[in-house]
Structure 1
Amino acid sequence: MRAPYRNAAAAVLASLSILAAQLPARSEIAVEAPERTTATAEEIPIRQKIGQMILVGFVGMTPSRAGVRTVLEQLEAGEIGGVLYLGRNLKNRKTVQRMNAAFRAAAPTALPPLIAIDQEGGRVQRLRSRDGFPETPSAKRLARKGSSIDAERIYQVLAENLADWGFTLNLGPVVDVDANPRNPIIGRLGRSYSSDPERVAAYGAAFVAAHRAHGVLTALKHFPGHGSSLRDSHKGAVDITRTWSDGELIPFRQLIAEGMADLVMTAHVINRTIGGADRSVPMSLSKDALTGVLRGDLGFTGVIISDDIQMDAIRWNFTLKEAVLKAVTAGTDILLFANDKRPDPAIPAKVADILEAAAATDPDLARKIDAAYDRIVTLKGRLRGAGDGAADASMAQ
């Protein structure tokens, strides 16, 4: 972080206690039930239902690039339900706005695309000041320097700008508990708010509330907790059985109970405490974790999204077919393919082929696809008007 920004952030934090009183109470946000404007799952061809379950990264930073044209065609054909931005896609505000407008125009009106980005703050924020985007302090810094009300004020700025640029989904907040400060992917990067689960939940709620005020969806991550790991799941299999504790579920449990969970992102970590019958698979592919704990014990009824299926923790241990079938069987609604190291524009067709063939002989899998589609349709019903830069109070549950 450059010194001028560090000073500016400190000044913002110092002034927030004065501004906090002006922040509307969370209960003042209007509640509006989403309208169903699409056909039921039974009336939709299965490949279109599967398409809504796929979110992909792409190559290119202008609408004319071949990689961007490919995802535009896939959106129009119903082969994908959304896109993920990485640093390689970012040029400037005007260009991103043009691309996002094109994505929205290509997708069916009743099923606006999920236009996603990782914009947590600190070390993990794709959009930077060099792109013309205001930077956000890390979760750890915010929790150390100010209250959750202060953090919500800063996240209001973040969310307002994301909406103005045309994004509809921010892949945050991180609600992993800082159980291991030396954790290479959470603790060391300042991505966790605190070692106190209740404090994590409070700041996570501030993140969600600020985004809802501007019509941007959020995803709690990484279920059931990645904060105690000793390794990075981007780089291979990670087993947290001996380091994880059930206290790491508290932020998820509390935010779900408070209606502050739009999506929940799963972690590619092995946790034999939860693993049940199949103790060797990551939580992202575990029916015991997703259907048993997340849906059953925690009562989450919304959309479950995987972390990147192409991460090494998955890629080195499962074929694409195995990963896709295990994830959907476990209860995953949206499969995320960042297309980072090895971009593959044919991923949507490959995934659709796998699921369509399997569903033809597996009624239970077909029902899971129907249920995932219905949950995604309901979620997207909350995106009316998103991307025009205007606040959308209907985001509140």
Structure 2
Amino acid sequence: MILVGFAGDDVDDVSVAALREEIAGGHLGGVMYLRSNVKSLTAVEEMNAAFRAASPDLPPFISLDQEGGSVERLTRAVGFEEIPNAATVAARNSPEGAEAIYGTLAQRLAALGFNVNFGPVADINLNPDNQIIARYGRAFATDAETVIAYDTAFIRAHEAAGLLTSLKHFPGHGSSTADSHEGFVDITGTWQESELEPYRELIGEGYDEFVMVGHLYHADYSGGVEGLPSSLSPQWITGVLREELGFDGVVISDDLEMGAIRQHFTLRETVTQAVRAGMDVLLFSNTAEPRASLADEIREILVAEAQADPAFAARIEESYGRIVALKARIR
């Protein structure tokens, strides 16, 4: 249930060796790359091989955000061929053409040892002044139908290469007027029901890998708790995503160190509320206060809460079942 960012950019780094031990001991579910972890493609391939070798029977999620455009961890600076952002891909290519582009991308990621790419973006570009989606061309279109077509192309391309994908950012970041990286984002007055359509359609067609939940506050889905974001909301995760839309895959959080979370919740509150809301994988970039002990701290909170509350322990068991089932697909 724990997926973290890490320090180091070489297989021989002390920090990377420590991660390998945590993975081997069953104490860590996966790792996420940032640009700071990439000094060369060779070094990335060596680290990923070491992470995988640490737990060959239950492989770690080895993940990154490689959408294209400005959201990418592997760049031409290290010899990785970059691709355009989603808006440009959709404007210049049919869904079939996009699938070819993403197919090449996915094959190159797989060759480096990655098994999860956090995409496609399922947000709809409803607010042209949006600071985090529209600004960087991260959404494929302004309508759900087109977004669904290009999301499907992205997913198919990655599945063909053996990579898992993640729809994001549930329940919809495209209409927002602020950036959850920086702080509190209230979508109560801007969010539209149509923003669920990509999720509804793709889940209805059988999509069951990851859905990434954003840190977006909607007063009508907060259970009366002022400021409770979607990533900590049972109404959004269990109510809408699980029960209404029928998603039975793995629910993963957006980075739980974003300002929208860490400015308002302690680590214990974040972990326990996310799990109670229905979150399966807790994603921490480990950039706010970088430390090697972060995964241990999260695990201690989970164990202590499970020992004190049988219902919480049962929730962990549910997540474990979903995570193991998804990892069984990793080639």
TM-score bracket for this pair, using the shorter chain length: over 0.9
SS at match of 1:241: coil
The more displaced of 272-281 and 58-67 is 272-281
Question: Which residue pairs with 1:120 in the alignment?
Answer: 67
Question: Which residue pairs with 1:182 in the alignment?
Answer: 129
- Residues 298-377 of structure 1: pairs in structure 2 closer than 5 A: 298-377=245-324
Q: Are the equivalent residues in 2 in contact too, given 1:276–1:288 (CA < 8 A)? A: yes
Question: Which residue pairs with 1:87 in the alignment?
Answer: 35
Q: Are the equivalent residues in 2 in contact too, given 1:303–1:375 (CA < 8 A)? A: yes
Cα RMSD (Å): 1.0
Alignment of 1:134 with 2:134, yes or no, is no
Q: 1:294 aligns with which of 220, 241, 247?
A: 241
Q: Equivalents in 1 of 2:256, 2:293: separation in Å?
A: 15
- The residue type paired with residue 162 of structure 2 is G
SS at match of 1:119: coil
Q: Equivalents in 2 of 1:278, 1:286: separation in Å?
A: 9
Q: Equivalents in 1 of 2:125, 2:221: separation in Å?
A: 20
Alignment of 1:69 with 2:28, yes or no, is no
Q: Equivalents in 1 of 2:135, 2:219: separation in Å?
A: 25
Structure 1 residue runs of 5 or longer lacking an equivalent are: 1-52, 385-397
Identity of aligned pairs, percent?
50
Q: Equivalents in 2 of 1:174, 1:84: separation in Å?
A: 18
Question: Which residue pairs with 1:17 in the alignment?
Answer: none
Give the direction of change, closer, same or farther, for the CA distance of 1:374–1:261 in structure 2 (3 Å limit): closer
Deviations 1:235-265 (A, max 9, x none): 0110011000110000011111112341000
Q: Equivalents in 1 of 2:94, 2:184: separation in Å?
A: 36
SS at match of 1:121: coil
Q: 1:78 aligns with which of 14, 19, 26?
A: 26
Deviations 1:358-396 (A, max 9, x none): 111211111110000000000000003xxxxxxxxxxxx
Q: Are the equivalent residues in 2 in contact too, given 1:87–1:127 (CA < 8 A)? A: yes
Question: Which residue pairs with 2:206 in the alignment?
Answer: 259
Tell which has more relative contact order, 1 or 2 (C-alpha 8 A, sep 6+): 1
SS at match of 1:116: strand
Q: Equivalents in 2 of 1:260, 1:359: separation in Å?
A: 30
TM-score normalized with structure 2 length: 0.98
Structure 2 residue runs of 5 or longer lacking an equivalent are: none
Deviations 1:15-54 (A, max 9, x none): xxxxxxxxxxxxxxxxxxxxxxxxxxxxxxxxxxxxxx00
- The residue type paired with residue 97 of structure 2 is D
Question: Which residue pairs with 1:172 in the alignment?
Answer: 119
Q: Are the equivalent residues in 1 in contact too, given 2:123–2:169 (CA < 8 A)? A: yes
Q: Which ranges of 4 or more aligned residues in structure 1 deviate by more than 2 Å?
A: 273-280
SS at match of 2:194: helix
Question: Which residue pairs with 1:280 in the alignment?
Answer: 227
Question: Which residue pairs with 2:166 in the alignment?
Answer: 219
Q: Are the equivalent residues in 2 in contact too, given 1:278–1:286 (CA < 8 A)? A: no
Q: Equivalents in 1 of 2:183, 2:108: separation in Å?
A: 34
Question: Which residue pairs with 1:25 in the alignment?
Answer: none
Q: Are the equivalent residues in 1 in contact too, given 2:65–2:117 (CA < 8 A)? A: yes
The more displaced of 368-377 and 275-284 is 275-284
Deviations 1:59-108 (A, max 9, x none): 1110111221221111111110110000011122211111100000112x
Q: Equivalents in 2 of 1:379, 1:343: separation in Å?
A: 29
CA radius of gyration, larger in: 1
Q: Equivalents in 2 of 1:234, 1:243: separation in Å?
A: 18
SS at match of 1:115: strand
Shift of 1:279: 5.0
Q: 2:44 aligns with which of 96, 112, 122?
A: 96
Q: Are the equivalent residues in 2 in contact too, given 1:173–1:208 (CA < 8 A)? A: yes
- Residues 175-214 of structure 1: pairs in structure 2 closer than 5 A: 175-214=122-161
Question: Which residue pairs with 1:12 in the alignment?
Answer: none
Question: Which residue pairs with 2:2 in the alignment?
Answer: 54
